[in-house]
Structure formats: structure tokens, C-alpha cells
């Protein structure tokens, strides 16, 4: 039995290209699988409209009063935090803009000399 051996020279750069293609195919497959799992239902199902669950937060509670024909709701308390230096800078900026607008208005109101 005769067996011929053929020696083929492979360019080293060609091998790196093949590796890049192989890696890119693997990444593409991973992305497709992840998208398919998310589309099929990988997350929790959304609750049906109009149903109340125990985990829902109450946004407002009707007080039983109406003002000008509009119902009044009591809302949950909220906490507000602000930087005092930022607030002072905002006030200063508004005052400066107000002074500049007043100066422009006085200049526009003057009769031409």
C-alpha cells in the first residue's frame, strides 16, 4: 500500500486570520443565543394590566375630598437633598442674568443721543 504524503506550507499570517474568524463565529453564536433566551422569556413576566400584586407600591391614597371637582390624593413622603453651594451658585447666576437683562432693557429704553 502506497501512501503519499503531501507537505503543504501554511503561511503563519493565514493561521491568525483563521483563528480570528473562529473566535468571531463563537462570539456571534453567543450573542444569538443570549438574544434568543431573552426573547423567549428569560426574564420575569410582566403583570397583567389591571391586576394588583403584593409587591406594587401605593403611589397615592385618595383622601375622600374634592377640590374644584378634582380628587385629592395623599402621596408618600419623599426626601430631597441638595448641595447648598450648588444652590447658592444657581441663585447667584440667576441674579447676575437678571441684572444683565435689566441693564439691556434700560439701554434699549434710552432715547438715542
What are the residues whose beta carbons fall under 8 Å from the beta carbon of 63, sequence distance 6 or more? 71, 72, 73, 74
Look at residue 9 and tell me if it is in a domain.
no
**Beta carbons of 73 and 62 less than 8 angstroms apart:** yes
pTM score = 0.27
Look at residue 55 and tell me if it is in a domain.
no
Look at residue 58 and tell me if it is in a domain.
no
Sign of the Cα torsion 13, 17, 19, 20 reads: positive
Q: Which residue segment(s) compose the domain that 99 sits in?
A: 82-108
pLDDT of 66: 93
pLDDT at residue 94 above 90?
Answer: yes
pLDDT of 64: 92
Look at residue 86 and tell me if it is in a domain.
yes
Q: How many domains does the chain have?
A: 1
Helix (H) / strand (E) containing 87: helix 84-109
Dump pLDDT digits (tens) for 46-81.
Answer: 555 555 555 666 678 889 999 999 999 998 888 888
pLDDT-derived band at 7 (thresholds 50, 70, 90) equals low
Look at residue 87 and tell me if it is in a domain.
yes
Amino acid at each position: 500500500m502506497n501512501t503519499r504524503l503531501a507537505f503543504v506550507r501554511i503561511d503563519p499570517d493565514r493561521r491568525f486570520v483563521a483563528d480570528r474568524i473562529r473566535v468571531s463565529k463563537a462570539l456571534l453564536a453567543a450573542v444569538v443565543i443570549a438574544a434568543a433566551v431573552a426573547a423567549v422569556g428569560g426574564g420575569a413576566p410582566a403583570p397583567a394590566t389591571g391586576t394588583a400584586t403584593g409587591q406594587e407600591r401605593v403611589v397615592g391614597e385618595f383622601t375622600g375630598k374634592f377640590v374644584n371637582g378634582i380628587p385629592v390624593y395623599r402621596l408618600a413622603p419623599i426626601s430631597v437633598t441638595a448641595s447648598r453651594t450648588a444652590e447658592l451658585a444657581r441663585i447667584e447666576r440667576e441674579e447676575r442674568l437678571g441684572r444683565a437683562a435689566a441693564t439691556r432693557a434700560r439701554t434699549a429704553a434710552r432715547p438715542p443721543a
